Amino acid sequence: MKEVMCLLRSSKWNATARELREAGFFAMTRHRASGRGKQKGLRGGEGEGGVRLLPKWQLILVVQDDQVGAAVEAVIRANRTGSVGDGKIFISKITETVRVSTEEFAYPALC
């Protein structure tokens, strides 16, 4: 199993959710986030060095190893403009999953 964690432009959420749904991915977690990357945020705001952090969405999916490519492609389709700030995708190995309500482990806990 793999975790696909994405940091995305806040304006791209609807397109991202639609692409993932059409690709068959329904289980996900979304968090509000803020940050900056190469574009160095917005000038003139509050914070360190007068740089304001940009609003983002953090999206987390846990998928089977053979589904990683399809999930990543769906996120890219929805978010790629070719400009700095399109986002980042991080892929990590999940070593174990436990469903709290039933104490199921591994794949049954994911479904």
What CATH number should be reported for the domain holding residue 86? Answer: 3.30.70.120
pLDDT in tens, 39-76: 665 555 555 566 678 899 999 999 999 999 999 999 99
Going by pLDDT thresholds of 50, 70 and 90, the confidence category of residue 106 is confident
Q: What is the dihedral of CA 50, 55, 57, 58, to 10 degrees?
A: 20
Confidence at residue 53, expressed as pLDDT on a 0 to 100 scale: 81
Domain containing 95: what range? 2-110
Tell me the pTM.
Answer: 0.83
Axis-axis angle for helices 13-22, 68-79 (nearest 10): 140
Number of domains in the chain: 1
